[in-house]
Every structure is written in C-alpha cells, then in structure tokens.
C-alpha cells in the first residue's frame, strides 16, 4: 500500500525523537542494574545492558525464567546473549574498517567496561498500580517489597501491561535500541513476556556520545538462548541441598542444559512442515504449529531431554535418586520464544513472514559464546558467517538428535538455540522494529506429582498397572505414559504462543475489555492465640464493577509450596460481610503462608464465558509465616519439649519449615529460659514473654550448632517458680 505523506512525516519525526533520546548524555551509571517482573506465574529479571548474560546477576548460573513461580528453583535460563552485527564497518574505536563487526552482550561475558559494546542510557520500570502492602505480625512480608522496583512516580492506570521495563542502549556499531518488556498479571496472559525492540542507526558508538555518520550494510540482530529446563530437576546431590532446596540428585552433567533439546517451527512459511522427524515421539503434525488465523508461527522451544548416563528414562526429570525419591517430575515444563512482528525493512514496517532468516544451534561452550572480542577480525568473521548470517539448518537440533541422547550429540556444554533477523541496510536515522514473546508452560504441580509417582511405582518399584494416556487410551508402558503427559506441555506452550500473538496483533496488548480485578492494596496477617487473623482493604470492591468476592489460600510450612483454598467469600452467595477472616483450622506450632485473590462474576470473560477473572496471587503472597499461638499456662508444671529426643533425620516428627528447631510448650506468660550442657556450661538464654510456646533453633547464643548430647533446660518465672527438663539431641 502506498504510504501517505503524513505517515512518512510521522515516521521521520519518531526517528528524530528516538535519535535525540539516545544522544542524551546519561548522568546515571546503569551498567550493573537489574529489575524483576514478578506479578504473574512467570518471573524473570532484566539488566540495563540490554540482555542477561550467564552468571552476571544473582548467585547461581541457572537463574531466571521461573515457571511455575509458586515453587522453589524453577529457573530455566542459564544464559541469554544478544549481538548486533554489520558488514564493512569503519570502526572509529579501532581506526580501521572491519569486514564484519559484532557488538556483543553475552551469552557469557558482559560487555567490556573500558570500551563497551553495549552502553545503557536509560533503565527502569513502570506499573499500572502499586503492589499491595503485605504484613505478617507487624513486619513487611512480600517479595515485591524488594523486587518490584517501580520508578518513583512510575504508576499509570492506563498502562496496558501490569509492569513494563524500559531500557535504552547504545552499541559500538552505532546502532542504538529501545527495549520494552511487558509483563501481565491476567490469569490467561501471565506466563509470557512481550519484548518490543526499536533499533535506530544513531551513529553513537562510545560512552562519550560520539557518533559516526555511516549507512550500515548487512545488519543482523541476533539472540542466543541457553535454556536448561528446569532447576528443580537438576539440583546436584540428594534430598535437600545446602540452600534448603529439594533436589532430585541428578548428576552434574545433567545441569546447565547439557541434555536440553531445542526445536524450531515456522522457519519457511512457504514450505511448512507437515510432520517432523521428532513427531513420532510428540505425536504431533505441522497443523499444531499454526496460529488461529492459519499462519504458521515462527518460534522455537526447549525442554529437558534424555541423558545417556542414567539407567531410566529421564524425560520430565523424575525424582528417583534422592532419599525423598517419589518420582515427582522436576522438569516437565517447555519454554521458548515466538515472533510477533519483524519489519521487512527500514522503509517497510509491515511484518516479514520470512524473519528470522537464521535459526541455528550453537554449542554452549563454543569459543563464540565464551570470550567475545569486538576487535578480532577473524573472530567476528566466524561469528557473522557461521552463526549470525548462516541461515536455517536443514534440521533443527531436536530433529538431528531424534529420540537419542542430546548429551552424546554435544561435546561438553549442550546446545543453545539462536536466531537472527536481517539483513537490513540502515541509513542514519533509520529504524527497525522486532517484537517477540518469551513464554513457559506445562502440566500442573499436582500432575507432576501424580504422574511421576504412578511412573515410579510401575517402572522403579515394579507395580505394573494399566495407565491412562492424555487422549484417554491406555498403556502398560510406564515410560510412554509419563512422556506423553510431559509432552502435553508442548501443546500448552504452543497455545501460550497463540495467546501472546493474539494479545499483541489483535488486542494491541489492551485487556480493558476483559479486565481482571486488582488485588486488595493491603493484606495483613496476625498470629493470635485461638486463630490466625487475616484482614484486607476494600479498594477492589469499589474499582471493579463486576466484583463478586475473595478467595483465601494457605500453604503449610513453606511459601514456595502448593496452596489450598480455605475460604470463598462471595457477594452473590451472601457470605462476604466484612473484610476479615479468622483461620481457626490451623494447627498450633506450625507455620502457615497465605495469599488472597479478588474475583469477579465472569461476565467479561470472552475466552471462557462465565468463568470468574481474578487478581494475581503473586501480589499478595506472604513470604513470612504466621502461626496459631498457644495461650500461656498458669505455672511451670506442664512445660514440655517437643520433639524430645531431637533426631536430625526424623523430619516427619519435626516442624515443617522449621526442621532445625524444638519448641517449649505450656510456658507461663513470662519466664527465663536457660540451656546448659550436661557438665553445666550455659550455652543459650532467652527471656520469654507472651504466648505459651517458644522456639529454639538449636544454636548457642553465639550462633554455633550444638552437638549430640544431653542438655539441661531450666525455666524460671519472675515469682521464682522453677522447672527443669532434659533434652536429648541425636545428630
């Protein structure tokens, strides 16, 4: 269609405005900054440098892209790299013309500090509304207190997403880019992020803001994804690791993506796959890769593949090696990316169905991933010709491995998936837009346990049984049963891709026609003697026209756990009378974690008519536990110590979430508690006041772990009443 003069003037104006923004000097050093988006079921962090290199943030190599974020150690991202590559570049930094020039950000090393390749000029986050204040026993108790770092004054009720990262970066190629990352809390759109990139030939090539005036030839925008699905199924060791995480005990060489499988779909929309070499395992045809409008989606996805050193089929990573072995699936998720839009050229901003033009695997320990060099002509030529501009492989990584072992297919570190968009020719001021969505999906936690446990009993314990497949058929092959259910996660991810495309292409990221309620803006939990009190604000009752009620959920022992509904307070049912609830079903001495969601009457749910829409649990999930306190006793005669003896291996007799502790029960309102060794050395003192119970973490007053032995515990009230008890500790 012929462009109007008005449209052309608008695009020139946008380019000039973007150019002005990137040329602005920055008085803030953004280089080490990172922000999280944690309002939906998928959590991830983002860095100001424009990508997320390996081990560049956080305390673990496998860090980020957590789904389902209700549970501990769901990280699937080992590294993410971004390169911008051009041809025949007259480099002002080197004073020479490079046939191939690449500015690198990861996947492993950060951009250089002295002569940076990626140089941030703006970074922050805005939100639709503030996160609620969550309080447990007088203390702030939400992950969002520290991780929901919205800019000062950065709330806009008209924002389409619930959170949006804004990020601007100059690069040593003279191409600058604006990255916006959109995260949603809506229950049908909360497991993906939408990334909008706008690339501009500003000419800015260094930190000082110096700029060249070159038309750039053969420009590619290239990303590398080192995925490892998922952390829970690849924790080293057995049982509980040193960070308190439940691990499956899988071997070291199952970690960091060694056995990751990567598949690509939609590489050539003019010649779509009707079936793939891997379809016999998936049981899927190419039609499943089509969007609702019949277009073949351009995407890739990764999952936890087999490993040759294991004696069992580890699709889904069943828990079989630890002392808590029960078959629980620790890596049944699929994760990946789908293209939402890619400009045909700087002068034609319609979507190009042939982008990306390169989709290739790369060995995750390849030299090109480990030590980038923007001044090595030979290294950049290899990176450009063999990876960035190498085109599509005849078969994807997964098709090449087939039903074999990806660890035998790889030399050392497994394979990462790459894709590149280009080539573009960009004159000064030209822009190119690329929009993608990154997503994760899979079967539920309950299914992970039930399917894994059924497989474990059959395959490992020999309890042969008839097993029901996802399509309702039956089998007696436990591996086929387990794997078929795990591979339904692929279906879920493909459906997530469809929703991301629909949200961007058809709804323009606008969910105002199907809004989910906001959460209560305060949620307070208080431990009491005969109940745990929960109280919350009524703001959503006023703001949401179709509001119908609240549901309260509770987990026992740990907030990284499964939550169960304990109350449904509905206007239409007539049982919502006040914004307070007393949980009287809690067991004394146990920790409980809560969240509350608001829900509506389902009248605006166009996806599933009549199904209520709800606020996100992650806004109100408390990360501190509350407990029902025991009323104080009248005297000291009834004081007991539980458990006694304390045996470190008897976890079933200990307090969930507080395994390394004993409790003193039936205490008077005030008393001094002192612990002595058998020979009379005092090792711990505590002035108790309040309820009838106190907890000791089995550490001395100088925070040393006590050894096995017999300990004498004395209790004395202000009136002089005394009691003496013995405690036996067996480690």
Which domain, by its residues, includes 707?
640-730
**Window from 352-356, 400-404, 593-597 with minimum mean pLDDT:** 400-404
Give the end of a domain, one of 415, 441, 467. Answer: 441
C-beta of residue 330 within 8 angstroms of C-beta of residue 233:
yes
Q: Which residues contact 634 (CB under 8 A, 6 or more apart)?
A: 668
Residue-level pLDDT at 248? 54
Q: For residues 328 and 454, what is the distance between their CA atoms, to the nearest angstrom?
A: 9
Q: pLDDT at position 611, please?
A: 97
DSSP state letters, 605-634 = -SSSTTPPPB--GGGT--SS-B-PPPPPBS
d(CA 647, CA 70): 30
Within-domain flag for 509: no
Tell me: cis bond preceding 230? Omega within 30 of 0 counts.
Answer: yes
User: pLDDT value at position 12?
Assistant: 43
DSSP code per residue over 545-583: TTEEEEEEEEEES-SSS--EEEEEEETTTT---SSEEEE
Q: What is the mean pLDDT of the chain?
A: 87
The set of residues, in sequence order, having a beta carbon less than 8 Å from that of 98 and lying 6+ positions away, is: 88, 89, 91, 377, 380
Nearest Cα neighbor of 42 from 594, 516, 442, 622 is 442
Segment 190-207, tens digit of pLDDT: 999 999 999 999 999 999
The band of 366, judged by pLDDT with boundaries at 50, 70 and 90, is confident
User: Cα–Cα distance between 386 and 367 in angstroms, integer?
Assistant: 12
Confidence check: pLDDT of 253 > 60: no
Contact 316, 452 (CB under 8 A): yes
Final residue of a domain: which of 468, 484, 499?
Answer: 499
Instruction: Specify the pLDDT at position 669.
Output: 86
- In the structure, what pLDDT confidence band is assigned to residue 653 with cuts at 50, 70 and 90? low
How far apart are the C-alpha atoms of 653 and 651, rounded to whole Å? 5
Is-contact 567 551, C-beta < 8 A?
A: yes
Spell out a b/e string for 372-390, using b for 16 or more CB atoms within 10 Å of the CB, else e. Answer: bebeeeebbebbbeebbbb
CA distances from 349 to 13, 220, 435 (A): 15, 16, 12
Query: Do residue 274 and residue 356 come from a single domain?
Result: yes
Q: Is residue 632 part of a domain?
A: no
Note the pLDDT of residue 365: 87
Does 462 share its domain with 401? no
CA distances from 594 to 136, 416, 549, 570, 580 (A): 10, 38, 17, 18, 13
Say if residue 532 is in the same domain as residue 491. Answer: no
Instruction: Say which DSSP state 447 is in.
Output: H
The pLDDT of residue 242 is: 35
**pLDDT value, residue 246:** 47
Report the DSSP pairing between strands 192-201 and 431-441. Answer: antiparallel
Burial status of residue 274 (CB atoms within 10 A of its CB: 0-12, 13-18, 19 or more): exposed
Q: pLDDT of 404-418, one tens digit each?
A: 888 888 777 889 999
pLDDT bracket for residue 277 (50, 70, 90): very low
Question: Which pLDDT tens digit goes with each residue over 84-121?
Answer: 999 999 999 999 999 999 999 989 876 665 458 999 99
Q: Tell me the residue ranges of DSSP E strands in 243-395.
A: 246-247, 260-265, 299-304, 334-345, 348-351, 358-363
SS (H, E, C) 457-483: HHHHCCCCCCEECCCCCEECCHHHHHH
Q: Who has greater pLDDT, 145 or 10? A: 145
- Looking at the structure of the chain, the number of domains it has is 4
Q: Are residues 548 and 659 in the same domain?
A: no
Q: Residues 456, 532: one domain?
A: no
Q: Does residue 562 contact residue 445 with C-beta atoms inside 8 Å?
A: yes
Contacts of 317 (CB under 8 A, 6+ apart): 230, 232, 233, 234, 248, 250, 254, 304, 329, 330, 331, 332
Q: What is the pLDDT of residue 7?
A: 40
Residue 291 lies in a domain: yes
- Express each pLDDT in 150-179 by its tens digit: 999 999 999 999 999 999 999 999 999 999
Residue 420 sits in the same domain as residue 434: yes
Could you tell me if residue 505 is inside a domain? no
CATH number for the domain harbouring residue 710: 2.60.40.3110
Tell me how far the alpha carbon of residue 458 is from its chain's centroid. Answer: 32
Do 593 and 698 fall within a single domain?
A: no
Tell me what pLDDT residue 661 has: 87
Residue 328 lies in a domain: yes
Q: Tell me: the pLDDT tens digits for 291-347?
A: 777 778 899 999 999 988 888 999 999 988 766 788 989 899 999 999 999 999 999
Buried b (16+ CB within 10 A) or exposed e, 250-261: beebbbbbbbbb
Query: Is 145 in the same domain as 211?
Result: yes
Domain boundary residue, one of 402, 425, 441: 441
Determine contact, residues 85/384, Cβ cutoff 8 Å: yes
- The CATH number of residue 600's host domain is 2.60.40.10
Q: How far apart are CA 441 and CA 333, in angstroms?
A: 6
Domain for residue 630, yes or no? no
Average pLDDT over residues 241-251: 45
In a domain, residue 631? The reply is no
Q: Where are the beta strands (DSSP E) in 150-256?
A: 163-171, 175-183, 192-201, 216-227, 239-240, 246-247
146-150, 365-369, 644-648: which range is least confident on average? 365-369
Do residue 34 and residue 144 come from a single domain?
Answer: yes
Preceding omega of 423 cis (within 30 degrees of 0)? yes
Q: Are residues 430 and 532 in the same domain?
A: no
In a domain, 65, yes or no: yes
Max CA-CA distance within the chain?
95
Mean pLDDT of 439-454: 95
The answer, yes or no, to whether residue 726 has pLDDT greater than 50, is: yes
Of 67 and 54, the structure prediction assigns the larger pLDDT to: 67
> What residues contact 499, with CB distance under 8 A and at least 6 apart?
188, 189, 192
Read off the pLDDT band of 235 (50, 70, 90).
Answer: low
**Co-location of 374 and 453 in the same domain:** no
pLDDT band at 531; cut points 50, 70, 90? confident
The pLDDT score that the predictor gives to residue 147 is 93
Quick one: which H or E segment has residue 401? helix 397-401
DSSP-assigned beta bridge partners for residue 723 = 715
Cα–Cα distance, 185 to 617 (Å, whole number) = 9
Beta-strand relationship, 299-304 and 163-171: unpaired
Q: What pLDDT, on a 0 to 100 scale, did the predictor assign at position 286?
A: 46
pLDDT value of position 656: 62
Could you tell me the pLDDT band of residue 631, with boundaries at 50, 70 and 90?
confident
Residue 80 · residue 107 · CB < 8 Å: yes
By DSSP bridging, strand 246-247 and strand 348-351 are unpaired
- Characterize the bridge pairing of strands 646-647 and 722-730: parallel
Q: How far apart are CA 506 and CA 515, in angstroms?
A: 16
- 293 Cβ neighbours under 8 A, 6+ residues apart: none
Helix, strand, or coil (residue 253) = helix
Q: Are residues 92 and 222 both part of a single domain?
A: yes
């Amino acid at each position: 269609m012929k462009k109007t003069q008005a449209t052309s003037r608008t695009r020139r104006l946008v380019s000039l405005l973007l150019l002005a923004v990137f040329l602005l000097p920055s008085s803030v050093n953004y280089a080490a900054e990172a922000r999280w988006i944690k309002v939906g079921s998928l959590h991830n962090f983002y860095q100001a440098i424009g990508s997320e290199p390996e081990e560049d943030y956080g305390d673990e190599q496998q860090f980020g892209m957590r789904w389902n974020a209700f549970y501990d150690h769901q990280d699937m991202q080992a590294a993410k790299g971004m390169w911008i590559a051009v041809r025949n570049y007259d480099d002002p930094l080197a004073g020479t013309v490079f046939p191939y020039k690449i500015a690198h950000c990861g996947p492993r090393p950060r951009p250089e500090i002295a002569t940076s390749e990626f140089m941030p000029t703006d970074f922050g986050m805005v939100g639709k509304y503030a996160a609620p204040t969550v309080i447990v026993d007088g203390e702030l108790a939400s992950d969002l207190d520290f991780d929901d770092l919205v800019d000062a004054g950065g709330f806009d009720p008209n924002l389409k997403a619930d959170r949006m990262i804004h990020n601007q970066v100059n690069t040593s190629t003279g191409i600058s880019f604006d990255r916006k990352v959109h995260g949603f809390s809506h229950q049908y759109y909360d497991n993906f992020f939408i990334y909008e990139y706008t690339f501009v030939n500003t000419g800015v090539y260094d930190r000082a803001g110096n700029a060249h005036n070159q038309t750039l030839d053969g420009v590619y925008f290239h990303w590398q994804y080192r995925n490892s699905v998922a952390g829970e199924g690849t924790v080293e060791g057995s049982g509980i690791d040193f960070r308190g995480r439940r691990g499956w005990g899988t071997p070291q060489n199952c970690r960091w993506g060694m056995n990751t499988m990567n598949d690509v779909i939609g590489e050539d929309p003019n010649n779509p796959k009707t079936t793939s070499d891997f379809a016999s395992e998936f049981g899927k045809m190419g039609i499943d890769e089509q969007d609702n409008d019949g277009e073949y989606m351009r995407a890739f996805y990764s999952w936890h593949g087999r490993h040759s050193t294991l004696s069992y089929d580890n699709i889904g990573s069943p828990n079989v090696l630890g002392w808590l072995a029960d078959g629980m699936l620790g890596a049944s998720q699929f994760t990946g990316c789908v293209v939402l839009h890619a400009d045909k050229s700087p002068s034609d901003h319609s979507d190009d169905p042939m982008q990306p033009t390169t989709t290739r695997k790369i060995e995750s320990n390849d030299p090109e991933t480990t030590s980038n060099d923007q001044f090595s002509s030979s290294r950049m030529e290899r990176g450009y010709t063999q990876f960035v501009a190498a085109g599509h492989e005849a078969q994807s990584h997964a098709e090449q491995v087939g039903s074999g072992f990806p660890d035998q297919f790889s030399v050392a570190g497994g394979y990462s998936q790459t894709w590149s968009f280009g080539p573009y020719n960009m004159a000064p001021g030209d822009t190119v837009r690329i929009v993608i969505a990154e997503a994760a999906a899979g079967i539920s936690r309950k299914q992970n346990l039930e399917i894994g446990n059924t497989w474990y009993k059959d395959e490992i314990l020999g309890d042969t049984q008839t097993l029901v497949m996802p399509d309702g058929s039956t089998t007696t092959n436990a591996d086929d049963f387990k794997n078929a259910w795990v591979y339904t996660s692929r279906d879920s991810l493909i459906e997530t891709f469809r929703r991301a495309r629909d949200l961007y292409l058809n709804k323009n990221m606008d969910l105002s026609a199907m809004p989910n309620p906001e959460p209560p803006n305060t949620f307070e939990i208080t431990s009491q003697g005969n109940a745990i009190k929960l109280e919350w604000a009524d703001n959503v009752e006023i703001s949401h026209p179709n509001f119908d009620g609240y549901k309260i959920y509770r987990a026992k022992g740990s907030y990284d756990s499964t939550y169960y509904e304990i109350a449904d307070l509905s206007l239409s049912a007539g049982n919502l009378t006040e914004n307070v609830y007393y949980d009287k079903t809690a067991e004394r001495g146990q920790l409980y974690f809560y969240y509350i969601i608001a829900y509506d009457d389902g009248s605006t749910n166009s996806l599933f008519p009549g199904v209520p829409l709800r606020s996100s649990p992650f806004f109100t999930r408390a990360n501190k536990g509350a407990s029902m306190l025991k009323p104080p006793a009248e005297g000291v005669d009834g004081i007991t110590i539980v458990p006694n003896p304390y045996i470190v291996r008897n976890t079933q007799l200990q307090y969930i979430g507080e395994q390394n502790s004993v409790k003193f029960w039936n205490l008077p309102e005030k008393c001094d508690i002192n612990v002595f060794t058998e020979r009379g050395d005092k090792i711990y003192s505590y002035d108790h006041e309040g309820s009838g119970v106190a907890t000791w973490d089995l550490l001395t007053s100088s925070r040393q772990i006590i050894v096995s032995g017999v300990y004498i515990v004395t209790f004395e009230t202000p009136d002089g009443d005394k009691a003496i008890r013995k405690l036996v500790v067996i480690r």
